[in-house]
Amino acid sequence: MRLKLLSPDQMSDDQRATYDESIASKRGSPPPPMMAWLASPEMARHATRLGAFLRYDTMLTPALSELAILVTARHWTAHFEWYAHKKMALDGGLDPAIIEDIKNRRTPSFEDPKARVIYDVAKSLHEAKGLSQPLYDEATRLLGERGLVEVIGLCGYYTMVSMTLNAYEFPLPGGEVSELV
């Protein structure tokens, strides 16, 4: 890891307030990238609040949210992000075959049209840097404007998370080995 993580007693008052807020949230613990973001306490505060909203309070089911997150983690080959969110995706009910296909950069088969369009939106945002009109129209029909905005938000936020984790080379916990190559 390239960054020395601060312990709570080493933090400034602003850093400690953000750290304490993250512990008091639905997460119950600080998200790992926040520990890097604490170098800019105000950024850490806003980013952590956005992350909490995107993880827990969108209109998407956990499986659908995790689908967008895994597509993003795979795009960035974010080892820590993949490790953390694969378990959450499985716990949220995402089909293990879909996860395996994403890991191996294959297009999954979807029974749920919402899952398929979320996958397509996330892939298109990362690879084509936007959405074609037909994909936009299908996404708004299936997800509504709010759902599409939230998928875009998940992809953007988890891009920032992935970049942070990759830039600071966050290790996997307990000697775990990454599945991503």
59-104 pLDDT per residue, tens? 999 999 999 999 999 999 999 999 999 999 999 999 999 999 999 9
Q: Indicate whether 98 and 48 sit together in one domain.
A: no
- What is the pTM (predicted TM-score) of this model? 0.94
Domain extent at residue 98? 62-175
- Which amino acid is present at 66? E
Cα–Cα dist 106/133, whole Å: 24
The confidence band for 155, taking pLDDT boundaries of 50, 70 and 90, is very high
Of 113, 111, 60, 46, the C-alpha closest to 89 is 60
Give yes or no: residues 79 and 41 share one domain.
no
Whether 142 and 114 have beta carbons less than 8 Å apart is answered as: yes
Q: Are residues 122 and 89 in the same domain?
A: yes
State whether 30 and 90 are in the same domain. no
pLDDT of 27 higher than 80: no
| Residues 73 and 106 placed together within one structural domain of the fold | yes
**Contact call for residues 37 and 167 (beta carbons, < 8 A):** no
Under the banding of pLDDT at 50, 70 and 90, the label for residue 154 is very high
| Same domain? 72 vs 50 | no
Are both 51 and 74 inside the same structural domain?
no
Categorize the per-residue pLDDT at 24 as very low, low, confident or very high, splitting at 50, 70 and 90: confident
Q: Largest alpha-carbon pair distance within the chain? A: 53
Are 73 and 125 part of one and the same domain?
Answer: yes
**Is 162 inside a domain boundary?**
yes
Task: List, in order, residues 6 or more apart from 33 with CB less than 8 Å away.
Answer: 47, 160, 161, 164, 165, 170
At 30 the pLDDT is: 83
Q: Number of structural domains, the chain?
A: 2
Q: Is the pLDDT of residue 109 over 90?
A: yes
| 98 belongs to a structural domain | yes
- pLDDT score for 25: 80
pLDDT of amino acid 145 = 98
Domain membership flag for residue 47? yes
- Of 19, 35, 56, the residue that ends a domain is 56
- Decide if 75 contacts 126 (C-beta within 8 A): yes
Interior/surface letters 103-135, b for 16+ CB within 10 angstroms, e for the rest: beeeebebeeebbbbbbbbbbbbeeeeebeeeb
* pLDDT surpassing 90 at residue 131: yes
Which residue intervals of 96-132 are DSSP H helices?
96-103, 113-127
Going by pLDDT thresholds of 50, 70 and 90, the confidence category of residue 146 is very high
